[in-house]
Amino acid sequence: MKTLLELVRIVTKGKARHIEILETGTPCRNKVMDLYNALSAGTAKTDADAMRHIYGAHPKASSYRNLKAGLKKRLLNTLLFINLGDPSLNEQEKAYYRCQKDWAAVKVLLRMGARDVAIRLAEKTLQRALRYDLTEIAVQASQVLRFHYGTRIGNLKKMKEYGQLHQKYMKAWQFESRAEEYYTLLVVNYINERAAREQAGCQALAYYEKLKGGMAKYPTYRLLFLGYLIRIIAYRSINDYRNTVESCQEAIRAFEAKDYEVKTPIYTFLHQQILAHIQLKQFGQGEGIARRATRLIPAGTVNWFVNMELLLILSLHTRQYQRAYEVYQEAFNHRGFQKLREIDKEQWRINGAYIHFLLEIGKVVAVRGQSGLRKFRLARFLNEVPVFSKDKQGMNVAILIIQILFLIVKKRYSDAIGRIDAINKYRVRYLFRDKALKRSNYFVKLLLQIPLYNFHKAAVLRKSEKYFERLKAIPIEVANQPHGIEILPYEDLWAFAVESLELKFYKRRR
């Protein structure tokens, strides 16, 4: 079902002008079209939904499997008829799709013996591929044309011309392939975990040095994109955010120098630059870059959600809490939210827990007329973040902290006391020895003073002062901790926690 839903989304978005393979006529084709319409409209989201929609109260499993296979085959064929006049596509993206379609046609024409038309189309496709840095197509097209003019026409000049192009772009493609391999080796460790990796930083720098010469000689779209991403991973892995900003700016200049419109790489490097500005506590610069990035992406796309998350963090760190609430509401209530990967949804749920905390303590006011947030339940929240709950030196820190905060401000004091030993063991095991998590270590230590001194405001402030001074001695901009852990500055969270306390001791029940 997941495959069908994805294909239906693409075909529907592509607005194919007519879909002959889905035409009505026979009962079988009517059922295929019925299934397509149900999936496209969202009325059928699971196999069970679809079977009930097609067959009513008497589902036919074997017939349904055949129907799904038939629809999948027809949707794959339909991709070639999609209208690429989508205004959201820039010229490089349109060129990519056109070249892929035309090159497929060239291969079919050659196989069927229509050589003259195939060669004319291959030459046009090659010119477009060269214009828009489509290296793989350039390699294949130049190879076919070299063979054609050398063995079928006997034109030595053209054979050499296409031969030289083939050699040049083969070398560029080899660099691209190497860059992709390096990037994959680095990223595989970051899919479900966000802890900083010093070793990965050293490896990334070594990879970048191997690619740097190729990037200068063959500045193709894909090689520049992957090469600069690897360089940025190198600096981010060792929390060198100043060099990260410089690398992002250099990458953006390289793509702005292209003589065709570029959006995705520029947005990607703007995003990385915002992350660095957040870590450096350069919130003004970060907000300016975020506004620029917003103009490059349509609402509801994955990149739009990424940019909204950064605007949320920027708002929280500049104490614009109502603005943060509005950003969260806009993103969480957007229909595209349900299409995000589960791990991305988890990140938003963690952000949402902090927004609920601000609502709980009165720093944010729910706006009338807007769809409200569902009531926050701590147990449900913990069940909704299974991946990051296992990331002991990454986002689990943010999850742990919000648990403690809610127990304290909701005055669930007996629960907080019961958690002291477990939380302290976690702190010692995962936070105490990690230099990048020193701020988190001191902040958790601060929170543990609250139940330890019976929730008495004056006693807690007096006993926790030394830990608060240690926290302030490591400002966020020099802490070198992984991005995303400190959703709200710890100094602000500590002030909120203390505000909720009273000048009386909590008497433990025995």
What b/e sequence results for 73-84 when a residue is b if at least 16 CB atoms lie within 10 Å of its CB, and e otherwise? ebbeebeeebee
Kindly indicate the confidence band of residue 24, based on its pLDDT and cuts at 50, 70 and 90.
very low
Q: 502 in helix, strand or coil?
A: strand
Report which of residues 415 and 191 the model is more confident about: 415
Given a cut of 60, is residue 13 above it in pLDDT? no
Residues 235-286 have pLDDT tens digits of 988 878 899 999 999 999 999 999 998 988 999 999 999 989 988 878 889 9
Cα 133 from chain centroid (whole Å): 25
The interaxial angle of helices 438-452 and 413-426, nearest 10 deg, is: 140
Total-model pTM: 0.72
Whole-angstrom Cα distance, residue 1 to residue 4? 5
Whole-angstrom Cα distance, residue 379 to residue 412? 14
Report which of residues 438 and 369 the model is more confident about: 438
Residue pair 126/142 in contact (Cβ under 8 Å)? The answer is: yes
Q: 456 in helix, strand or coil?
A: strand
186 closest CA partner among 169, 219, 211? 211
Whole-angstrom Cα distance, residue 281 to residue 272? 14
Kindly indicate the confidence band of residue 339, based on its pLDDT and cuts at 50, 70 and 90.
confident
Mean pLDDT of the chain: 85
Kindly indicate the confidence band of residue 17, based on its pLDDT and cuts at 50, 70 and 90.
very low
Rounded to 5 degrees, what are φ and ψ at 456?
-90, 120
Q: Which two tokens stand for residue 384?
A: 């909704």
pLDDT of the residue at 54: 81
Given a cut of 60, is residue 101 above it in pLDDT? yes
pLDDT of the residue at 22: 47
Which residues, in sequence order, are CB contacts of 25 under 8 Å at separation 6+? none
Residues 157-212 have pLDDT tens digits of 999 999 999 999 999 999 999 999 999 998 886 644 444 456 778 889 999 999 99
DSSP summary character for residue 337: G
A 10 A CB-CB count for 41 gives 10
Given a cut of 80, is residue 332 above it in pLDDT? yes
Whole-angstrom Cα distance, residue 149 to residue 127? 17
Report which of residues 469 and 35 the model is more confident about: 469
Least confident among 12-16, 45-49, 357-361, 405-409: 12-16
Whole-angstrom Cα distance, residue 18 to residue 22? 9
Alpha carbon of 84 to those of 88, 133, 135: distances in Å? 10, 19, 21
Q: Which two tokens stand for residue 178?
A: 């190497």
